Amino acid sequence: MSAVQQLKHEGLPDGLARCWPDIAHDSAWLKELRTRAVDRVAKLHFPTARDEEWRFTDLGALRELNFEPAAAQKLHAPFADFERLIFPEAAATRLVFVNGHYAPEFSDTHEVPQGVTLTHLSGQGAVQDVLAARHLAQHADMHNEVFTALNTRLFSDVALLFIAPDVVCEQPLHLLFISTAQQTPLLSSPRCLIIGGRDSACTLVEEYVSLGEGVTFTNAVSEIVVEEGARMQHVRVQDEGHAAFHIASSTVTLARDARYQAINVTLGARLSRHTLGVVHHGPGTECAVDGLALISGRQLADTHSVIDHAAPHGKSTQLNKCIVDESAHAVFNGKIVVRRDAQLNDARQQSRNLLLSARARVNAKPELLIQADDVKCAHGATVGQLDEEQIFYLKCRGLSDAAARNLLTYAFAAEVVEKIPLVSLKTRLRAVILDRVVHAHASAEAA
Protein backbone atom coordinates (compact mmCIF):
# COMPACT_ATOMS: atom_id res chain seq x y z
CA MET A 1 0.00 0.00 0.00
CA SER A 2 1.21 3.48 -0.84
CA ALA A 3 1.82 6.06 1.83
CA VAL A 4 -1.34 7.39 3.38
CA GLN A 5 -2.05 10.76 4.72
CA GLN A 6 -4.01 10.94 7.89
CA LEU A 7 -6.88 13.29 7.55
CA LYS A 8 -9.99 13.85 9.53
CA HIS A 9 -12.90 16.14 9.23
CA GLU A 10 -16.48 16.48 10.28
CA GLY A 11 -18.40 15.63 7.13
CA LEU A 12 -17.55 11.97 6.84
CA PRO A 13 -17.88 8.97 9.11
CA ASP A 14 -14.60 8.30 10.90
CA GLY A 15 -13.71 5.27 8.88
CA LEU A 16 -14.01 7.04 5.57
CA ALA A 17 -12.10 10.12 6.58
CA ARG A 18 -9.21 8.25 8.13
CA CYS A 19 -6.89 7.79 5.24
CA TRP A 20 -6.58 9.26 1.79
CA PRO A 21 -4.41 7.51 -0.77
CA ASP A 22 -1.34 9.34 -1.96
CA ILE A 23 -1.79 11.47 -5.08
CA ALA A 24 1.79 12.67 -5.42
CA HIS A 25 2.20 10.95 -8.79
CA ASP A 26 -1.00 12.22 -10.37
CA SER A 27 -0.70 14.57 -13.29
CA ALA A 28 -1.22 18.23 -12.55
CA TRP A 29 -4.79 18.56 -13.77
CA LEU A 30 -5.83 15.48 -11.86
CA LYS A 31 -4.15 16.74 -8.70
CA GLU A 32 -6.07 19.94 -9.09
CA LEU A 33 -9.28 17.94 -9.52
CA ARG A 34 -8.53 15.88 -6.43
CA THR A 35 -7.90 18.99 -4.40
CA ARG A 36 -11.22 20.45 -5.43
CA ALA A 37 -12.86 17.12 -4.61
CA VAL A 38 -11.43 17.12 -1.09
CA ASP A 39 -12.66 20.63 -0.68
CA ARG A 40 -16.17 19.60 -1.68
CA VAL A 41 -16.08 16.54 0.57
CA ALA A 42 -15.23 18.82 3.45
CA LYS A 43 -18.03 21.25 2.68
CA LEU A 44 -20.79 18.78 1.86
CA HIS A 45 -22.39 16.79 4.61
CA PHE A 46 -23.08 13.10 4.69
CA PRO A 47 -26.79 12.63 3.79
CA THR A 48 -29.28 11.69 6.46
CA ALA A 49 -32.98 10.86 6.35
CA ARG A 50 -33.67 14.57 6.83
CA ASP A 51 -32.47 15.19 3.28
CA GLU A 52 -35.47 14.94 0.97
CA GLU A 53 -33.43 12.98 -1.59
CA TRP A 54 -32.45 10.40 1.03
CA ARG A 55 -35.71 10.17 2.91
CA PHE A 56 -36.12 6.40 2.65
CA THR A 57 -32.48 5.44 2.48
CA ASP A 58 -30.93 5.48 5.89
CA LEU A 59 -27.15 5.47 5.72
CA GLY A 60 -26.82 5.03 9.48
CA ALA A 61 -25.38 1.53 9.19
CA LEU A 62 -22.84 2.74 6.64
CA ARG A 63 -21.72 5.55 8.94
CA GLU A 64 -21.08 3.10 11.73
CA LEU A 65 -18.57 1.07 9.78
CA ASN A 66 -14.90 1.84 9.53
CA PHE A 67 -14.27 1.56 5.83
CA GLU A 68 -10.82 1.93 4.41
CA PRO A 69 -10.10 2.92 0.82
CA ALA A 70 -9.19 -0.26 -1.03
CA ALA A 71 -5.61 -0.66 -2.18
CA ALA A 72 -4.61 -2.61 -5.27
CA GLN A 73 -4.32 -6.33 -4.60
CA LYS A 74 -4.46 -9.68 -6.31
CA LEU A 75 -7.76 -11.42 -6.43
CA HIS A 76 -7.72 -14.75 -4.64
CA ALA A 77 -10.80 -16.42 -5.97
CA PRO A 78 -11.38 -19.78 -7.62
CA PHE A 79 -11.44 -19.40 -11.37
CA ALA A 80 -14.95 -20.89 -11.48
CA ASP A 81 -16.27 -17.99 -9.40
CA PHE A 82 -14.83 -15.62 -11.88
CA GLU A 83 -15.63 -17.56 -15.05
CA ARG A 84 -19.37 -17.46 -14.49
CA LEU A 85 -19.15 -13.68 -14.66
CA ILE A 86 -17.82 -13.64 -18.21
CA PHE A 87 -20.24 -13.18 -21.08
CA PRO A 88 -19.31 -15.30 -24.10
CA GLU A 89 -20.38 -12.39 -26.30
CA ALA A 90 -17.81 -10.14 -24.64
CA ALA A 91 -15.15 -12.67 -23.61
CA ALA A 92 -12.34 -10.74 -25.32
CA THR A 93 -13.78 -7.26 -25.01
CA ARG A 94 -13.74 -6.89 -21.26
CA LEU A 95 -12.02 -4.92 -18.57
CA VAL A 96 -12.02 -6.19 -15.02
CA PHE A 97 -11.42 -4.11 -11.92
CA VAL A 98 -10.94 -5.49 -8.45
CA ASN A 99 -11.94 -3.09 -5.68
CA GLY A 100 -11.68 -0.27 -8.17
CA HIS A 101 -8.18 -1.20 -9.34
CA TYR A 102 -7.53 -2.40 -12.86
CA ALA A 103 -6.91 -6.17 -12.95
CA PRO A 104 -4.92 -6.97 -16.10
CA GLU A 105 -4.81 -10.69 -15.29
CA PHE A 106 -8.59 -10.93 -15.70
CA SER A 107 -9.07 -8.44 -18.49
CA ASP A 108 -9.03 -9.43 -22.13
CA THR A 109 -9.26 -6.85 -24.88
CA HIS A 110 -7.76 -8.69 -27.83
CA GLU A 111 -10.97 -8.57 -29.87
CA VAL A 112 -11.63 -4.90 -29.34
CA PRO A 113 -12.09 -3.63 -32.89
CA GLN A 114 -10.34 -0.75 -34.64
CA GLY A 115 -11.66 2.59 -33.61
CA VAL A 116 -12.66 1.42 -30.16
CA THR A 117 -10.54 2.27 -27.14
CA LEU A 118 -11.19 0.12 -24.12
CA THR A 119 -8.57 0.81 -21.52
CA HIS A 120 -7.82 1.98 -18.03
CA LEU A 121 -6.31 5.30 -17.06
CA SER A 122 -4.13 5.09 -14.03
CA GLY A 123 -4.30 7.89 -11.55
CA GLN A 124 -0.65 7.33 -10.75
CA GLY A 125 0.85 9.57 -13.36
CA ALA A 126 -0.59 8.29 -16.58
CA VAL A 127 -3.71 10.34 -16.84
CA GLN A 128 -2.76 12.82 -19.49
CA ASP A 129 -5.19 11.76 -22.07
CA VAL A 130 -6.86 14.78 -23.61
CA LEU A 131 -10.18 13.03 -23.64
CA ALA A 132 -10.09 12.27 -19.95
CA ALA A 133 -8.93 15.75 -19.08
CA ARG A 134 -11.75 17.19 -21.13
CA HIS A 135 -14.54 14.99 -19.78
CA LEU A 136 -13.63 13.59 -16.41
CA ALA A 137 -15.67 15.16 -13.62
CA GLN A 138 -17.28 17.50 -16.15
CA HIS A 139 -20.58 15.62 -16.15
CA ALA A 140 -20.95 14.08 -12.72
CA ASP A 141 -21.95 16.59 -10.08
CA MET A 142 -19.05 16.73 -7.69
CA HIS A 143 -20.12 20.12 -6.48
CA ASN A 144 -23.33 18.97 -4.82
CA GLU A 145 -22.96 15.22 -4.41
CA VAL A 146 -20.71 14.19 -1.58
CA PHE A 147 -20.33 10.65 -2.91
CA THR A 148 -19.25 11.91 -6.32
CA ALA A 149 -16.71 14.19 -4.70
CA LEU A 150 -15.47 11.33 -2.55
CA ASN A 151 -15.12 9.07 -5.57
CA THR A 152 -13.23 11.79 -7.42
CA ARG A 153 -10.73 12.01 -4.63
CA LEU A 154 -10.35 8.28 -4.26
CA PHE A 155 -10.60 6.55 -7.63
CA SER A 156 -7.39 4.96 -8.81
CA ASP A 157 -8.00 3.57 -12.31
CA VAL A 158 -10.62 4.99 -14.63
CA ALA A 159 -12.34 2.57 -16.97
CA LEU A 160 -12.27 4.37 -20.28
CA LEU A 161 -14.33 3.43 -23.30
CA PHE A 162 -14.16 5.58 -26.37
CA ILE A 163 -15.86 4.78 -29.65
CA ALA A 164 -14.35 6.87 -32.41
CA PRO A 165 -16.69 8.82 -34.69
CA ASP A 166 -18.56 6.73 -37.28
CA VAL A 167 -17.41 3.45 -35.77
CA VAL A 168 -20.05 0.80 -35.21
CA CYS A 169 -18.86 -1.64 -32.59
CA GLU A 170 -20.68 -4.94 -33.05
CA GLN A 171 -19.21 -6.76 -30.06
CA PRO A 172 -20.70 -5.85 -26.72
CA LEU A 173 -18.15 -4.44 -24.28
CA HIS A 174 -18.01 -5.52 -20.67
CA LEU A 175 -16.83 -3.49 -17.70
CA LEU A 176 -16.75 -5.76 -14.67
CA PHE A 177 -16.17 -4.38 -11.19
CA ILE A 178 -15.54 -6.93 -8.48
CA SER A 179 -15.54 -6.05 -4.81
CA THR A 180 -13.92 -8.47 -2.43
CA ALA A 181 -15.00 -8.89 1.15
CA GLN A 182 -12.12 -8.70 3.65
CA GLN A 183 -11.53 -8.52 7.37
CA THR A 184 -11.56 -4.73 7.28
CA PRO A 185 -14.44 -3.45 5.17
CA LEU A 186 -13.09 -1.81 2.04
CA LEU A 187 -14.35 1.16 0.11
CA SER A 188 -14.01 0.71 -3.64
CA SER A 189 -14.28 3.70 -5.91
CA PRO A 190 -14.92 2.53 -9.47
CA ARG A 191 -14.96 5.24 -12.06
CA CYS A 192 -16.12 5.00 -15.68
CA LEU A 193 -15.79 7.41 -18.53
CA ILE A 194 -17.71 6.29 -21.58
CA ILE A 195 -17.78 8.30 -24.75
CA GLY A 196 -19.69 7.40 -27.88
CA GLY A 197 -18.17 9.57 -30.61
CA ARG A 198 -20.21 11.28 -33.30
CA ASP A 199 -22.40 8.81 -35.29
CA SER A 200 -20.86 5.80 -33.53
CA ALA A 201 -22.75 2.85 -32.09
CA CYS A 202 -21.98 0.48 -29.24
CA THR A 203 -23.43 -1.84 -26.63
CA LEU A 204 -21.91 -2.09 -23.21
CA VAL A 205 -22.51 -3.87 -19.94
CA GLU A 206 -21.35 -2.23 -16.74
CA GLU A 207 -21.52 -4.75 -13.95
CA TYR A 208 -20.86 -4.72 -10.23
CA VAL A 209 -20.48 -7.94 -8.27
CA SER A 210 -18.76 -9.04 -5.12
CA LEU A 211 -16.87 -12.16 -4.17
CA GLY A 212 -16.78 -13.57 -0.69
CA GLU A 213 -19.13 -13.07 2.20
CA GLY A 214 -18.86 -9.87 4.14
CA VAL A 215 -19.33 -6.16 4.12
CA THR A 216 -18.14 -4.09 1.18
CA PHE A 217 -18.80 -0.54 0.14
CA THR A 218 -18.80 0.44 -3.50
CA ASN A 219 -19.06 4.10 -4.37
CA ALA A 220 -19.19 4.20 -8.17
CA VAL A 221 -19.37 7.11 -10.56
CA SER A 222 -19.97 6.79 -14.30
CA GLU A 223 -19.93 9.56 -16.83
CA ILE A 224 -21.43 8.77 -20.19
CA VAL A 225 -21.30 11.04 -23.18
CA VAL A 226 -23.22 10.28 -26.35
CA GLU A 227 -22.10 12.64 -29.08
CA GLU A 228 -24.06 13.87 -32.08
CA GLY A 229 -25.97 11.17 -33.88
CA ALA A 230 -24.40 8.37 -31.84
CA ARG A 231 -26.25 5.36 -30.49
CA MET A 232 -25.52 3.57 -27.26
CA GLN A 233 -27.06 0.59 -25.51
CA HIS A 234 -26.04 0.46 -21.90
CA VAL A 235 -26.89 -2.34 -19.50
CA ARG A 236 -25.97 -1.81 -15.89
CA VAL A 237 -26.13 -4.73 -13.47
CA GLN A 238 -25.63 -4.45 -9.75
CA ASP A 239 -25.41 -7.91 -8.21
CA GLU A 240 -23.22 -7.42 -5.16
CA GLY A 241 -23.49 -9.57 -2.05
CA HIS A 242 -26.27 -9.11 0.45
CA ALA A 243 -23.95 -7.45 2.98
CA ALA A 244 -22.76 -4.84 0.48
CA PHE A 245 -23.39 -1.12 0.40
CA HIS A 246 -23.58 0.21 -3.12
CA ILE A 247 -23.87 3.88 -3.91
CA ALA A 248 -23.56 4.95 -7.50
CA SER A 249 -24.28 7.73 -9.88
CA SER A 250 -24.55 7.63 -13.66
CA THR A 251 -24.62 10.86 -15.57
CA VAL A 252 -25.53 10.68 -19.23
CA THR A 253 -25.13 13.60 -21.59
CA LEU A 254 -26.83 13.42 -24.97
CA ALA A 255 -25.80 15.64 -27.86
CA ARG A 256 -27.97 16.45 -30.86
CA ASP A 257 -29.79 13.41 -32.38
CA ALA A 258 -28.13 10.98 -29.97
CA ARG A 259 -29.95 7.77 -29.04
CA TYR A 260 -29.40 6.19 -25.66
CA GLN A 261 -30.98 3.03 -24.35
CA ALA A 262 -30.32 1.91 -20.79
CA ILE A 263 -31.41 -1.05 -18.74
CA ASN A 264 -30.51 -0.84 -15.08
CA VAL A 265 -30.79 -4.07 -13.16
CA THR A 266 -30.54 -4.17 -9.39
CA LEU A 267 -30.31 -7.54 -7.70
CA GLY A 268 -27.79 -7.25 -4.94
CA ALA A 269 -26.53 -5.25 -1.98
CA ARG A 270 -28.03 -4.76 1.42
CA LEU A 271 -28.41 -1.09 0.61
CA SER A 272 -28.11 0.32 -2.87
CA ARG A 273 -28.67 3.75 -4.25
CA HIS A 274 -28.43 4.57 -7.94
CA THR A 275 -28.66 8.19 -8.90
CA LEU A 276 -29.23 8.41 -12.62
CA GLY A 277 -29.25 11.59 -14.64
CA VAL A 278 -29.85 11.86 -18.37
CA VAL A 279 -29.51 15.29 -19.88
CA HIS A 280 -30.88 15.88 -23.37
CA HIS A 281 -28.50 18.64 -24.32
CA GLY A 282 -29.06 18.77 -28.03
CA PRO A 283 -32.29 18.72 -30.01
CA GLY A 284 -33.74 15.54 -31.49
CA THR A 285 -32.37 13.21 -28.81
CA GLU A 286 -34.04 10.05 -27.63
CA CYS A 287 -33.56 7.96 -24.55
CA ALA A 288 -35.23 4.81 -23.26
CA VAL A 289 -34.25 4.16 -19.68
CA ASP A 290 -35.63 1.04 -18.06
CA GLY A 291 -35.05 -0.30 -14.61
CA LEU A 292 -35.59 -3.61 -12.88
CA ALA A 293 -35.03 -4.26 -9.20
CA LEU A 294 -35.48 -7.74 -7.77
CA ILE A 295 -34.90 -7.73 -4.05
CA SER A 296 -35.75 -9.78 -0.96
CA GLY A 297 -34.69 -10.30 2.64
CA ARG A 298 -33.97 -6.92 4.17
CA GLN A 299 -32.55 -5.35 1.04
CA LEU A 300 -33.13 -1.74 0.18
CA ALA A 301 -32.82 -0.60 -3.43
CA ASP A 302 -33.21 3.07 -4.21
CA THR A 303 -33.25 4.55 -7.69
CA HIS A 304 -33.41 8.28 -8.12
CA SER A 305 -33.54 9.37 -11.73
CA VAL A 306 -33.69 12.73 -13.42
CA ILE A 307 -34.48 12.88 -17.12
CA ASP A 308 -33.78 16.40 -18.15
CA HIS A 309 -35.06 17.70 -21.48
CA ALA A 310 -32.96 20.78 -22.00
CA ALA A 311 -33.48 21.04 -25.76
CA PRO A 312 -36.47 20.78 -28.11
CA HIS A 313 -37.75 17.75 -30.03
CA GLY A 314 -36.57 15.14 -27.59
CA LYS A 315 -38.18 11.92 -26.57
CA SER A 316 -37.79 9.87 -23.42
CA THR A 317 -39.43 6.69 -22.21
CA GLN A 318 -38.83 5.16 -18.84
CA LEU A 319 -40.19 1.90 -17.51
CA ASN A 320 -39.17 1.10 -13.97
CA LYS A 321 -40.15 -2.20 -12.39
CA CYS A 322 -39.55 -3.31 -8.84
CA ILE A 323 -40.16 -6.81 -7.55
CA VAL A 324 -40.00 -6.82 -3.80
CA ASP A 325 -40.16 -9.91 -1.59
CA GLU A 326 -40.01 -10.53 2.17
CA SER A 327 -39.09 -7.39 4.13
CA ALA A 328 -37.28 -5.65 1.31
CA HIS A 329 -37.89 -2.06 0.39
CA ALA A 330 -37.72 -0.46 -3.05
CA VAL A 331 -37.59 3.25 -3.69
CA PHE A 332 -38.11 4.86 -7.07
CA ASN A 333 -38.08 8.57 -7.49
CA GLY A 334 -38.39 9.49 -11.13
CA LYS A 335 -38.07 13.12 -11.99
CA ILE A 336 -38.74 14.50 -15.44
CA VAL A 337 -37.69 18.04 -16.26
CA VAL A 338 -38.65 19.89 -19.42
CA ARG A 339 -36.88 23.23 -19.55
CA ARG A 340 -38.55 26.44 -20.65
CA ASP A 341 -37.47 26.48 -24.27
CA ALA A 342 -37.45 22.74 -24.73
CA GLN A 343 -40.63 22.61 -26.80
CA LEU A 344 -42.07 19.55 -28.55
CA ASN A 345 -40.67 17.04 -26.14
CA ASP A 346 -42.37 13.76 -25.45
CA ALA A 347 -41.64 12.21 -22.05
CA ARG A 348 -43.21 9.04 -20.75
CA GLN A 349 -42.63 7.32 -17.45
CA GLN A 350 -44.15 4.19 -16.01
CA SER A 351 -43.44 2.76 -12.61
CA ARG A 352 -44.72 -0.78 -12.05
CA ASN A 353 -44.22 -2.54 -8.77
CA LEU A 354 -44.87 -6.06 -7.65
CA LEU A 355 -45.00 -6.91 -3.96
CA LEU A 356 -44.47 -10.60 -3.24
CA SER A 357 -45.01 -10.43 0.49
CA ALA A 358 -47.18 -8.47 2.89
CA ARG A 359 -44.07 -6.99 4.51
CA ALA A 360 -42.51 -5.82 1.26
CA ARG A 361 -42.53 -2.08 0.71
CA VAL A 362 -42.21 0.26 -2.21
CA ASN A 363 -42.12 4.04 -2.40
CA ALA A 364 -42.59 5.08 -6.00
CA LYS A 365 -42.88 8.71 -6.81
CA PRO A 366 -42.98 10.54 -10.13
CA GLU A 367 -41.91 14.15 -10.11
CA LEU A 368 -42.65 16.34 -13.09
CA LEU A 369 -41.16 19.73 -13.58
CA ILE A 370 -42.51 21.03 -16.86
CA GLN A 371 -41.59 24.56 -17.85
CA ALA A 372 -42.30 24.39 -21.58
CA ASP A 373 -45.89 24.55 -22.81
CA ASP A 374 -45.89 22.48 -26.00
CA VAL A 375 -44.90 19.07 -24.65
CA LYS A 376 -46.37 15.63 -24.17
CA CYS A 377 -45.80 14.10 -20.80
CA ALA A 378 -47.36 10.99 -19.35
CA HIS A 379 -46.65 9.01 -16.25
CA GLY A 380 -48.24 6.29 -14.18
CA ALA A 381 -47.46 4.16 -11.18
CA THR A 382 -48.97 0.88 -10.04
CA VAL A 383 -48.35 -1.41 -7.10
CA GLY A 384 -49.78 -4.91 -7.21
CA GLN A 385 -49.45 -8.49 -6.14
CA LEU A 386 -49.41 -11.75 -8.02
CA ASP A 387 -52.83 -12.74 -9.24
CA GLU A 388 -54.18 -15.72 -7.30
CA GLU A 389 -56.35 -16.86 -10.24
CA GLN A 390 -53.28 -16.99 -12.47
CA ILE A 391 -51.45 -18.99 -9.81
CA PHE A 392 -54.36 -21.42 -9.55
CA TYR A 393 -54.51 -21.79 -13.32
CA LEU A 394 -50.83 -22.71 -13.47
CA LYS A 395 -51.13 -25.13 -10.54
CA CYS A 396 -54.03 -26.81 -12.32
CA ARG A 397 -51.52 -27.55 -15.05
CA GLY A 398 -49.13 -29.20 -12.63
CA LEU A 399 -46.82 -26.32 -11.70
CA SER A 400 -45.77 -26.16 -8.07
CA ASP A 401 -46.61 -23.10 -6.04
CA ALA A 402 -43.03 -21.84 -6.35
CA ALA A 403 -42.83 -22.54 -10.08
CA ALA A 404 -46.15 -20.76 -10.65
CA ARG A 405 -45.12 -17.73 -8.63
CA ASN A 406 -41.72 -17.53 -10.27
CA LEU A 407 -43.17 -17.86 -13.75
CA LEU A 408 -45.59 -15.02 -13.07
CA THR A 409 -42.81 -12.98 -11.50
CA TYR A 410 -40.74 -13.56 -14.61
CA ALA A 411 -43.69 -12.55 -16.75
CA PHE A 412 -43.75 -9.28 -14.84
CA ALA A 413 -40.02 -8.75 -15.31
CA ALA A 414 -39.91 -9.97 -18.90
CA GLU A 415 -40.85 -6.65 -20.42
CA VAL A 416 -37.53 -5.27 -19.18
CA VAL A 417 -35.37 -8.43 -19.27
CA GLU A 418 -36.29 -9.28 -22.85
CA LYS A 419 -34.90 -5.95 -24.02
CA ILE A 420 -31.39 -6.86 -22.89
CA PRO A 421 -29.23 -7.18 -25.99
CA LEU A 422 -26.98 -10.00 -24.63
CA VAL A 423 -28.52 -13.45 -24.81
CA SER A 424 -26.25 -14.82 -22.08
CA LEU A 425 -27.18 -12.08 -19.64
CA LYS A 426 -30.85 -12.46 -20.47
CA THR A 427 -30.59 -16.20 -19.84
CA ARG A 428 -28.79 -15.61 -16.55
CA LEU A 429 -31.47 -13.21 -15.33
CA ARG A 430 -34.26 -15.50 -16.47
CA ALA A 431 -32.71 -18.30 -14.40
CA VAL A 432 -32.27 -15.99 -11.40
CA ILE A 433 -35.99 -15.28 -11.41
CA LEU A 434 -37.33 -18.69 -12.41
CA ASP A 435 -35.17 -20.55 -9.88
CA ARG A 436 -35.92 -18.22 -7.01
CA VAL A 437 -36.64 -19.85 -3.72
CA VAL A 438 -40.17 -18.96 -2.81
CA HIS A 439 -40.51 -18.66 0.92
CA ALA A 440 -43.51 -20.32 2.47
CA HIS A 441 -44.62 -17.11 4.12
CA ALA A 442 -45.15 -15.44 0.77
CA SER A 443 -47.81 -17.90 -0.25
CA ALA A 444 -49.30 -18.03 3.22
CA GLU A 445 -49.62 -14.27 3.29
CA ALA A 446 -51.05 -14.08 -0.18
CA ALA A 447 -53.67 -16.77 0.48
Partner 1 sequence: MGTVLLEVRNLHAAVAGVEILKGVNLTVRAGEVHAIMGPNGSGKSTFSKLLAGHPAYTVTGGEVLYQGENLLALAAEERSRAGVFLAFQYPVEIPGVSNASFLRLAYNTVQKQRGGEELDPLEFDDLVREKLKLVEMEASFLERSVNEGFSGGEKKRNEILQMALLEPVLAVLDETDSGLDIDALRIVAGGVNKLLNPGNAVILVTHYQRLLNYITPHFVHVMEDGRIVKTGGKELALELEARGYDWVREEQAAGQLA
What span, in angstroms and rounded, lies between the C-alpha atoms of 335 and 337?
7
What span, in angstroms and rounded, lies between the C-alpha atoms of 162 and 173?
11
Query: Parallel, antiparallel, or unpaired for β 191-196 and 231-239?
Result: unpaired
Nearer to partner 1, 37 or 322 (CB): 322
Nearer to partner 1, 147 or 410 (CB): 410
Residue type, 247: I
Provide, rounded to whole angstroms, the least separation between the CB of residue 378 and partner 1: 20
Q: What is the DSSP letter of 53?
A: G
The backbone torsions φ and ψ at residue 13, rounded to the nearest 5 degrees and listed phi first, read: -60, 150
What span, in angstroms and rounded, lies between the C-alpha atoms of 208 and 240?
6
User: Which positions lie near partner 1, rule CB under 8 A?
Assistant: 387-390, 392-401, 403-404, 407-408, 410-412, 414-415, 447
Nearer to partner 1, 91 or 446 (CB): 446
Provide, rounded to whole angstroms, the least separation between the CB of residue 397 and partner 1: 4
SS3 call for 253: strand
Provide, rounded to whole angstroms, the least separation between the CB of residue 394 and partner 1: 8
Provide, rounded to whole angstroms, the least separation between the CB of residue 402 and partner 1: 10
Q: Which helix (H) or strand (E) holds 39?
A: helix 28-43
CB-count burial class (<10 Å; 0-12, 13-18, 19+) for 169: buried
Evaluate whether 298 touches 330 at the Cβ level (below 8 Å).
no
The backbone torsions φ and ψ at residue 323, rounded to the nearest 5 degrees and listed phi first, read: -120, 115
Nearer to partner 1, 371 or 400 (CB): 400
Nearer to partner 1, 29 or 393 (CB): 393
Provide, rounded to whole angstroms, the least separation between the CB of residue 24 and partner 1: 56
Provide, rounded to whole angstroms, the least separation between the CB of residue 345 and partner 1: 30
